Amino acid sequence: MSTQLLSTCVPGTTSFADFKSWAQAISAWMASIGWLQTNDTGQAVWTATVLTCTQVAMSGTTATISYSSFTGPAPRAGMSVTFSGFSNSGNNTALTLTAVSGGSSGTVTATNASGVNETHAGSGTTTAQTTVPTSTNTIYEIWESQDASSSTLPIFLRLEYGQGSTANSVLFKITAGVASNGSGTITTNTTSTLSHSTTIVGTTGVGNTSIFSGDTSRVMIALFLNAASASNPFFFAVERSHNSSGADTDSYFMLVTNLGTSGTRNAAQQIIQKPALGGTLTAETAHITALTTLSSGVVGTNIALGPLFPVIGKLDNPCMAMAFARGGDIVEGATVIVPYYGSNHTMYCSKANTMQTNEPLGNSSGNGTLYRYE
């Protein structure tokens, strides 16, 4: 389990540096907690991979290109690589890798009808993103869970990063399911694509508090928690179903979001079942919990807390991605210990703006949100 708190994520797209500060932070976090970037073609490239190549061996139209070293992210199937420096012009072209074998050195494979056998120095380079996507457009990545339950219920997330229809607006999209088609589409028990698009109110180049947690089975990301405008922050989490002891199960996973469009905030939670058990359930348009309406939930040394409940024909065992409390009972930016399933778990408290205080129903007030932070 891992956590991260950043103050360097800038809620904006005025410059590529601002855009990259939040978009690449999400990407880097997914890799750091052990999720696998899939081999789908056309995905975002934040840092170029450069292969030092030594040989091309052809078998029909299949080119096997040997490399002695590389810099940047490791080569993977699905990458678009531009090769150059070979003596035969047919080998100097852009190819999509279909297979990779080796580690710090090895081979990559691609289809090249013009390829020729040769032993010669060359290089292969991916093209890194250097500009903000144009208005309403995005670049994307697909990530797959890597925990033990992924063999029976894999979690696939398509994450999109871009610019909205107005200047300096953040555009983020998320789609979940249990497979992808290799070219960027989530398939099998898919959710609808959920979007966050908002014009930024803040200072160019100035970051806001953003928190991250997760492991190979789950992820929780809340960006721009203390942003100047309450429409700026957004949140998403994915967590598996739990048995009565709190252990992960492979019956379903739940996508939990709090996103906004043009200042209108949309909280949602949606269950994606294992295909053998069923499909994707209709999304709930609020976060389902029980929370006191009193001004304070303090009783002695205890504080009332509303867990987040999946709804699958019943209120199922609580999801720990987030929980809710009365705002006066918690301190902004504090971490608290919450007992779930007989064990203690750490939560991060926030009530900086209405994304957190209007939870869980979207028309509430005076509340606070606790995000799983472990």
89 and 219 belong to one structural domain: no
pLDDT by residue (tens digit) across 132-157?
Answer: 999 999 999 999 999 999 999 999 99
**Token match 């029976």: residue?**
152
> Structurally, how many domains does the chain consist of?
2
pLDDT of 201 > 60? The answer is: no
Which of the four pLDDT bands, split at 50, 70 and 90, describes residue 93?
A: very high
For 135, residues 6+ apart whose C-beta sits below 8 A from its C-beta are 163, 164, 165
pTM: 0.95
How many Å apart are CA 365 and CA 260, to the nearest integer? 17
Query: What b/e sequence results for 41-53 when a residue is b if at least 16 CB atoms lie within 10 Å of its CB, and e otherwise?
Result: eebbbeeebbbbb
119 and 143 belong to one structural domain: no
User: What is the extent of the structural domain holding 224?
Assistant: 2-42+131-372
pLDDT by residue (tens digit) across 287-327?
Answer: 999 988 888 999 988 889 999 999 999 999 999 999 999 99
77 and 224 belong to one structural domain: no
Single out the residue of 335, 318, 148, 146 nearest to residue 242, CA to CA. Answer: 318
> In which element (H, E) is residue 31 found?
helix 16-32
Single out the residue of 284, 254, 280, 282 nearest to residue 266, CA to CA. Answer: 284
143 and 56 belong to one structural domain: no
202 and 246 belong to one structural domain: yes
359 and 210 belong to one structural domain: yes
276 and 336 belong to one structural domain: yes
Q: Do 1 and 374 form a contact (C-beta atoms < 8 A)? A: yes
